[in-house]
Amino acid sequence: MGRVHDIFVIGGGINGCGIARDAVGRGYTVALAEMNDFASGTSSGATKLIHGGLRYLEHYEFRLVRESLMEREILWAMAPHIIWPLRFVLPYHKGGIRPAWMIRLGLFLYDHLGGRKLLPSTSVLNMRTDPAGKPLKAIFAKAFEYSDGWVDDARMVVLNARDAADKGALIMPRTKVVSARQEKDAQGKDIWNIDTINTITGEGGRHQARMLVNAAGPWVDHVIRSAFGQNAARHVRLVQGSHIIVKKKFEDPRAYFFQNPDNRIIFAIPYENDFTLIGTTDRDYTADPKDVKISQEETLYLCNAASEYFKEPVRPEDIVWTYSAVRPLFDDGASKAQEATRDYVLKVEGKEGEAPLLNVFGGKLTTYRRLSEHALEKIGEAIGIKGKPWTAGSHLPGGDFPVRGYEGEVSKLKARYPFLSEGHARRLVRRYGTKATTLLGKAQKIEDLGRSFGSDLYEAEVRYLIDNEWAVSAEDVLWRRTKAGLHMTTQQMHILEEYIAALPAQLAG
Ligand SMILES: Cc1cc2nc3c(=O)[nH]c(=O)nc-3n(C[C@H](O)[C@H](O)[C@H](O)COP(=O)(O)OP(=O)(O)OC[C@H]3O[C@@H](n4cnc5c(N)ncnc54)[C@H](O)[C@@H]3O)c2cc1C
């Protein structure tokens, strides 16, 4: 057993990795265990919006909306490679679900609640003349257009983990926490003894920490029950959300916000150049979160809802990929899944003299940085303050270029590596920002990047992901570190799988 960590974090989703990064940056010693891959839980299954949450205004969640609106530009500046602004087109017609005045009022608040300096404000579109009207049915003669942001969710998680590790945190993927008990240390103080198991090798481990943070997302209650033996824990409401991906439905770079007759909304978003992402659903979920997958009912719901708007219907046979995840919402007793609060709740347990435990319930990708700051306030109260808030104004790895500097970075990369195609250079800057040069190294021609696996994915990139971002399988590379899987054939994916499996164990992980 090594040293006693100040903080031990359970869960390598956005909240666990965000808290670990913030804490180590303030000078705490930190360890984090993730039972699978980073972002393998909810944090890779989101709609991927950095957004205020226009819909939450209807539920009077002003605190959450304001905090989220303010975070949009802070996060964009922190990681301008993986986060960028997106305009949303919200079509409406007379006699629609919500009257125009209500939408206008919501968008007025959205524009003015706070934090908007660079993002353009709301405008009104004539859909008969605006290109955004082209793929939609003629009944939608008008629309509002407003701003929010887009994020590569799984990359945001792994970059937080990477930065935490670079700052000295012990980051342990494929490490499941199986039990956590309070015991006295040599000085008679209570500390946590945490038992872990490596989910690949089965090897056990033991760690000690002064404070434990349970950021297990949908498993947060499960951890409370299994690791701490509190059988009655039931704080989160699990709500499934699914997405479908179809071949590009429209050329316009803007996304659509569609209102459905059941009062819910869905988005249709330009995705990975060649596709349209449509989602999401909202339904209560009771099984193990790891088994979540789209149901036929959800598939039909999404196809029908989008087909109410698009001239060309969306059919189940158009779907090229789907993904599902479970929202770990704090259970506020709301009757409908879509009405349960999207805000987060942080609860510290432990009486005087006991080692404290912080449970994290709920949260959004958008609010993870503020959630982490709030968590650090609680940690400071419990085990003593170290450092100050520092993450606003910081950069995630590769994000150290100007907020509107993406095109400039692409030009620089192409000038330094003239053999890269336009598309390849763009994809590399989107994924790695300024770190793209670390990945490409001294390469002078495309062959220097090693074996090609298809879709601009070369050996050099795969090795970078294994060496720097803890990737150990084709799935990690194809569906979380990148979305190259969308552009590759099954055979190409098999070849990558075999390549990674044949690497010496010390390289693969
Ligand atoms: C359909 C959908 C759409 C969404 N859209 C958006 C959006 O557009 N914008 C937005 O801001 N938010 C969105 N969200 C919300 C956001 O995705 C989640 O709030 C966020 O990802 C939760 O992160 P987390 O770290 O709490 O949980 P997770 O990402 O699930 O992380 C928890 C981790 O804990 C690990 N773990 C569990 N038990 C153990 C154990 N015993 N030992 C070690 N590790 C363990 C799990 O493997 C998991 O990786 C959406 C969510 C869903 C489901």
For the chain, the structural domain boundaries read: 4-42+154-235+342-383, 84-150+237-333, 406-501
Mean pLDDT of the chain: 95
The CB of 122 under 6 Å from ligand 1? The reply is no
Tokens found for residue 72:
């949009």
Distance from the alpha carbon of residue 126 to the mean position of ligand 1, in angstroms: 38
pLDDT of residue 240: 97
pLDDT of residue 506: 52
| Cross-strand bridge partners of residue 279 | 243, 267
| Residues 239 and 283: beta-carbon distance below 8 Å | yes
Among 34, 25, 3, smallest CA distance to 167 is for: 25
Res 423 pLDDT > 60: yes
Q: What is the CATH number that goes with domain 406-501?
A: 1.10.8.870
Phi, psi of 395 (to 5 degrees): -125, 140
84-150+237-333 and 4-42+154-235+342-383 share a CATH fold: no
The CB of 217 under 6 Å from ligand 1? The reply is yes
For residues 12-21, average pLDDT? 98
Distance from the alpha carbon of residue 495 to the mean position of ligand 1, in angstroms: 30
Question: Alpha-carbon torsion 407, 411, 413, 414, what sign?
Answer: positive
| Residues 33 and 196: beta-carbon distance below 8 Å | yes
Q: Is 183 exposed, middle or buried (0-12, 13-18, 19+ CB in 10 A)?
A: exposed
Among 151, 122, 157, smallest CA distance to 21 is for: 157
**Domain 4-42+154-235+342-383 falls in which CATH fold?**
FAD/NAD(P)-binding domain (3.50.50)
CA–CA separation, 74 vs 85, rounded Å?
12
The CB of 266 under 6 Å from ligand 1? The reply is no
Give the ligand 1 atom nearest the CA of 243: 1
pLDDT of residue 276: 98
pLDDT of residue 391: 98
Res 509 pLDDT > 50: no
The best mutation among 69, 364, 368, 374 to test binding of ligand 1, ranked by most ligand atoms within 8 Å of the C-beta, falls on 364
The CB of 47 under 6 Å from ligand 1? The reply is yes
| Residues 135 and 311: beta-carbon distance below 8 Å | yes
E-state strands within 49-114:
49-50, 83-92
| Cross-strand bridge partners of residue 84 | 150
Give the ligand 1 atom nearest the CA of 11: 34
CA–CA separation, 327 vs 62, rounded Å?
20
Distance from the alpha carbon of residue 345 to the mean position of ligand 1, in angstroms: 14
- Taking CA atoms only, the protein residue closest to ligand 1 atom 31 is 13
The CB of 10 under 6 Å from ligand 1? The reply is yes
The CB of 177 under 6 Å from ligand 1? The reply is yes
Phi, psi of 238 (to 5 degrees): -90, 120
- Taking CA atoms only, the protein residue closest to ligand 1 atom 16 is 364
Tokens found for residue 296:
């036929």
**SS3 at position 26:** coil
Polymer length in residues for the chain: 509
Distance from the alpha carbon of residue 327 to the mean position of ligand 1, in angstroms: 7
Percent of the chain with pLDDT over 90: 86
293-338 confidence digits (pLDDT tens)? 999 999 999 999 999 999 999 999 999 999 999 999 998 777 677 7
100-152 confidence digits (pLDDT tens)? 899 999 999 999 998 899 999 999 999 999 999 999 999 999 999 999 999 99
For residues 212-230, average pLDDT? 90
42-64 confidence digits (pLDDT tens)? 999 999 999 999 888 888 889 99
Question: Which amino acid is residue 227, in one-letter code?
Answer: A
**Domain 84-150+237-333 falls in which CATH fold?**
D-Amino Acid Oxidase; Chain A, domain 2 (3.30.9)
Among 215, 238, 165, smallest CA distance to 397 is for: 165
Cis link prior to 280 (omega < 30° from 0)? Answer: yes
Give the ligand 1 atom nearest the CA of 223: 41
Percent of the chain with pLDDT over 70: 98
Res 229 pLDDT > 90: no
- Taking CA atoms only, the protein residue closest to ligand 1 atom 48 is 41
Residue with tokens 């012990």: 170
Distance from the alpha carbon of residue 174 to the mean position of ligand 1, in angstroms: 16
- Taking CA atoms only, the protein residue closest to ligand 1 atom 51 is 46
pLDDT of residue 233: 72
The CB of 289 under 6 Å from ligand 1? The reply is no
pLDDT of residue 508: 45
pTM across the whole model: 0.97
Burial annotation 460-478 (CB, 10 A radius, 16+ → b, else e): bbbbbbbebbbbbbbbbbb
For residues 28-38, average pLDDT? 98
Res 348 pLDDT > 60: yes
Torsion of the alpha carbons at 352, 355, 356 and 357, rounded to the nearest 10:
-140
358-397 confidence digits (pLDDT tens)? 999 999 999 999 999 999 999 999 999 999 999 999 999 9
pLDDT of residue 323: 98
Distance from the alpha carbon of residue 337 to the mean position of ligand 1, in angstroms: 17
Check residue 246 and report its DSSP letter.
E
Name which residue leads in pLDDT, 157 or 60. 157
Tokens found for residue 45:
């299954």
Res 457 pLDDT > 70: yes
- In order, the DSSP letters of 253-312 are SSEEEEE-TTS-EEEEEEETTTEEEEE---EE--S-GGG----HHHHHHHHHHHHTTBSS
CA angle, 266 then 125 then 73, to 5°: 65
Q: How far is CA 140 from CA 122, 130, 304, in A?
A: 18, 12, 17
Distance from the alpha carbon of residue 357 to the mean position of ligand 1, in angstroms: 19
Distance from the alpha carbon of residue 13 to the mean position of ligand 1, in angstroms: 5
Give the ligand 1 atom nearest the CA of 49: 8
Please report which confidence band the pLDDT of residue 342 belongs to, taking 50, 70 and 90 as the band edges: confident
| Cross-strand bridge partners of residue 30 | 7
Please report which confidence band the pLDDT of residue 505 belongs to, taking 50, 70 and 90 as the band edges: low
For residues 452-472, average pLDDT? 97
Give the ligand 1 atom nearest the CA of 33: 43
Distance from the alpha carbon of residue 5 to the mean position of ligand 1, in angstroms: 24
Check residue 457 and report its DSSP letter.
-
